Amino acid sequence: MITARYHREIPQRYRLEAGKCLACGHLSFPPRLVCPECKAKKFETVTLSDEGTLVTFTVVRVASDKFSKETPFPVGIVELNGGVRVTAQIADANIDELKIGQKLRIVFRRIQDDGKAGILCYGYKAIMA
Amino acid sequence: MRDVVVIGAGMTQFGELWNKSIKDIFVEAALKAIEDAGVDHIDSMYVGAMSPGLFVGQEHLGAVMADYLGVTPIPATHVESACASGGASFRQAFLEVASGASEIVLAGGVEKMTDGADVTEALATAADQEYEVYQGITFPGLYALIARAHMERYGTTREQLAAVAVKNHRNGAKNPNAQFRSEVTAEQVMKSTMVADPLRLLDCSPVSDGGAAVIVASMDVAKKLKKNPIRVIASAQSSDTIALHSRKDITTLNSVVKAAEKAYKIADKKPADIHLVEVHDCFTIAEIVTTEDLGFFEKGKGGEAAEKGWTSIECKRIPVNTSGGLKSKGHPVGATGVAQIIELYEQLNGTAGSRQVQGARVGMAQNMGGTGASCVIHILEAS
């Protein structure tokens, strides 16, 4: 991954920074230039909750080449407290125990890498709360 | 807008076409369509393709294909809307003829997926690259998220998912252009390799090469050629959030609901007026969700409908994917939306052979991109 492309997502991937619409309060993650709810264009930066609930999940058993050594790995949609939903891997979990409605917590983890000479890419994963 | 009709169609065999290049495949389909229509020229052309840049390292596909089809200097444009590229290509041709800008336009689609690219990675570019794919999710994975939620909310079962694959293989076995011309049992589906829980290999459409093309024309042209024209009575398109997780309800594809509302209104039809539908069954769960969202079945009942055979050719409640669908016919991504139109063209002309829906006069094609971030719907009617 080109360093600039990785670098500009760091506030979201490392710190869960979202854009809160100053007009209607809607949270956009990642931040946007136009509020999808009320179309206003002014935001303040807020940090999302690191606690949430599992909305749905799967276990990826056939991955792209980049993730092929990681399989099988669970991925879910997590609704963070406050309402924002994110797609995240569920780490350190017993696959058979995963349940919709499960309480989860967001943690900082290594997500992927660019091979031997490339940068290591970090971000959020979810773990059982 | 004036009346627009389809007057010719052609497609290649779908499958692993190792001896044919992307150019060979597209030109073969286009030549068949031109010959079938009996036209001596085309005014312009569209080439639907999802990602020739990633699959074969070739972009600028409009010009590439116009050159190899031998029709330069006509306008030729590559159209991309992920897996809905074919439907979007057809819609561009429709709009160009409807507007009066052209009389005869070729709408084609093609994909060459077996030339060695990382197909899983290439297909994943139809999702949000930074906030879905970055986490390692795949397309089967995204549809598995929908499937799990649908099962939890509506009680959709593993057997109901399998019923979709069994029915589509049964139809595809009767389609000479299908990639898989073999039937499968529910047991085979449910014992096939797990890809992304709960979806297994036989819940997934395959990796395919293939091309499809139709000739779209004005009614005046059709009359001069003395063709039995198939009218395009609605063309509608909608979009939705690129990321599945941004949707309030992930068991409903809102782009499908919205495009269908528009299409029914334009055509002045309702679901009960449709005699057959080709839906975008990239995964078995997609057929269940789309048959609900198109209004053929109550929300949550799509699985039951598949299991009870209400979507089979014989049942006639609403025959779904008489071609075999993406599941059995194959899914060369950019060609799929055009191939759906070809199935309607054959059915409405009464030339679908052993797949024929008796008395079919009105057909619908529903083509979508990503997890439904794009949806293109057409309704065709026999004159």
Task: Establish if B146 touches chain A: CB-CB under 8 angstroms.
Answer: yes
Interval A48-79: pLDDT, tens: 999 999 999 999 999 998 999 999 999 999 99
Is the same domain home to B102 and B8?
A: yes
B144 and B293, same domain (yes or no): yes
Is residue B63 a part of any domain in this protein? yes
Verify that B262 and B216 share a domain, yes or no.
no
Shared-domain flag, residues B56 and B180: no
B199 and B163 within one domain: yes
Write the pLDDT tens digit of every residue in B179-196. 999 999 999 999 999 999
- Same domain membership, residue B86 and residue B100: yes
A56 and B137 in contact by Cβ < 8 A? no
For residue B11, the enclosing domain spans: 4-118+207-230
Instruction: Classify B253 in phi/psi space as left (phi over 0), alpha (psi -120 to 50) or beta.
Output: beta
Question: CA B141: distance to chain centroid?
Answer: 20
Is the pLDDT at A2 greater than 90, yes or no? no
Q: How far is B242 from chain A (nearest CA, A)?
A: 12
- Among the partner-chain residues B146, B148, B243, the one whose CB lies closest to the CB of A87 is B243
Whether residue B357 sits in one domain with residue B258? yes
* Domain count within chain B: 2
Same domain for B139 and B257? yes
Which pLDDT score is estimated for B105?
A: 98
Domain spans in chain A, listed from the N-terminal domain onward: 1-48, 50-129
Is B343 part of any domain?
Answer: no
What average pLDDT score do residues B147-166 get? 98
Q: Are B162 and B110 part of one and the same domain?
A: no
Higher pLDDT among residues B332 and B1, named by residue: B332
Does residue B128 fall inside a structural domain? no
Please indicate if any CB of chain B lies within 8 Å of the CB of A73. Answer: yes
Mean pLDDT for B276-290 is 98
Asked whether residue B23 falls in the same domain as residue B68, the answer is: yes
DSSP reduced 3-state for B360:
coil
Catalytic residue among B83, B204, B282, B375: B83
Mutate to test the interface with A, among B123, B134, B285 (most CBs of A within 10 A): B134
User: What ipTM, to 2 d.p.?
Assistant: 0.97
Q: Where are the alpha helices (DSSP H) in B227-299?
A: 254-267, 284-293
| Mean pLDDT taken over chain A | 95
Residue B168 within a domain: yes
Q: State mean pLDDT over B140-149.
A: 98
- The pLDDT value recorded for residue B323 is 98
Name the phi and psi angles at B346, rounded to 5: -70, -45
Q: What is the 3-state secondary structure (H, E, C) of B51-83?
A: CHHHHCCCCCHHHHHHHHHCCCCCCEEEECECE
The residue among B185, B189, B136 whose CA lies nearest residue B161 is B189
B280 catalytic, yes or no? Answer: no
Is B339 inside any structural domain? no
Q: Which of B156, B118, B121, B167 is nearest to B141 (CA)?
A: B121
Contact present, B311 and B291 (Cβ < 8 Å): yes
For the question of residue B378 being annotated catalytic, the response is: no
Residue B141 maps to a domain: yes
Asked if residue B277 and residue B153 are part of one domain, the reply reads yes
Domain shared by B263 and B373, yes or no: yes
Q: Which fold has domain A50-129?
A: OB fold (Dihydrolipoamide Acetyltransferase, E2P) (2.40.50)
pLDDT at A89 over 90: yes
A70 in reach of chain B (CB within 8 A): yes
